[in-house]
Amino acid sequence: MQTPDRFYPIVDSVAWVDRLVRCGVRTVQLRAKELDHADAVAMIRAALAITLPADVQLIVNDYWQAAIDAGAGHLHLGQEDLAEADLTAIRNAGLTLGVSTHDEAELETALAARPDYVALGPIWPTTLKVMRFAPQGLERISEWKRRLGATPLIAIGGVTLERAPDVFAAGADSIAVVSDVTMNADPEARVAAWLAFAGHGA
C-alpha cells in the first residue's frame, strides 16, 4: 500500500464503508467484532466490492485468515491477534501489515513483525471503549516517530479535527478516526472537513 492517507475512518459495517466511500475517503478500516470465519469473509468481500472499483484502500482489522481468503490487500492487527497470526502466510498472500502499539514492549513486538506502519493510541481519552492503557499524549507521538524513522506512524484515540494540527505537528503521518466521524451529527460534513484539512478534498 501507499502510506495510509493522512486521515482515514475506522468503521464496523459494510454500510459505513459504502457511506464513507461516497464521501470521498481514500482509505477506510473495517473493524467488526465477534464474527466467525465465514461471516468475516463475507463482510470483507462485500466491502471490497465497494472499495476496489472506487480505488479505495480497505484495511481489514484482526481477521487475518479471512482477509487472505477474501482477497484483501491490507491488514491491521492488535497485539493479541499479532501473537496468533501466521505472518508468513500474511506476507505470502501479499497483504500489507499495520500493528497497534500502546507501550515500549508492544512497539518492540510490532517492529519485530516488520510492519508497513505502526499505530499508537489512545492519544487522548476515548469514550469508545475502556482502555487499559493511559492516554499517550503528543510527546509519545514524537518519541515513537523518532524510533520508527521512515515507517509511517498512525495516531488514534480521542483525536478530533480540532486536535489534528497538534497531532501532525508532533510527528504523526496519519490519523485514524472513529467517533469523531461515526458519532458526529453530520458525518458527511465532518468527513468533508477532514478531507479538506488533510489535503484530500475535491
User: What pLDDT tens digit does each residue of the chain (202 aa) get?
Assistant: 566 799 999 999 999 999 999 999 999 999 999 999 999 999 999 999 999 999 999 999 999 999 999 999 999 999 999 999 999 999 999 999 999 999 999 999 999 999 999 999 999 987 655 666 789 999 999 999 999 999 999 999 999 999 999 999 999 999 999 999 999 999 999 999 999 999 864 3
Q: Give the per-residue pLDDT at 202.
A: 38
Q: Which long-range contacts (CB under 8 A, 24 or more apart) does 138-147 make?
A: 138/166, 138/167, 138/170, 139/170, 141/167, 141/170, 141/171, 141/172, 142/170, 142/171, 144/101, 144/107, 144/118, 144/120, 144/171, 145/170, 145/171, 145/172, 145/173, 146/171, 147/107
Nearest partner of 51 among 10, 5, 18, judged by Cα: 18
pTM of the predicted structure, to 2 decimals: 0.95
Nearest partner of 137 among 112, 166, 116, 108, judged by Cα: 166
Q: Give the per-residue pLDDT at 199.
A: 83
Q: Please, which residues have CB within 8 angstroms of residue 163's CB and are 6 or more apart in sequence?
A: 123, 124
Q: Give the per-residue pLDDT at 2.
A: 60
Helix (H) or strand (E) holding 95: none
State yes or no: cis peptide before 122, omega within 30 of 0.
Answer: yes
Q: Give the per-residue pLDDT at 130.
A: 60
The rounded distance, in Å, linking the Cα atoms of 187 and 196 is 14
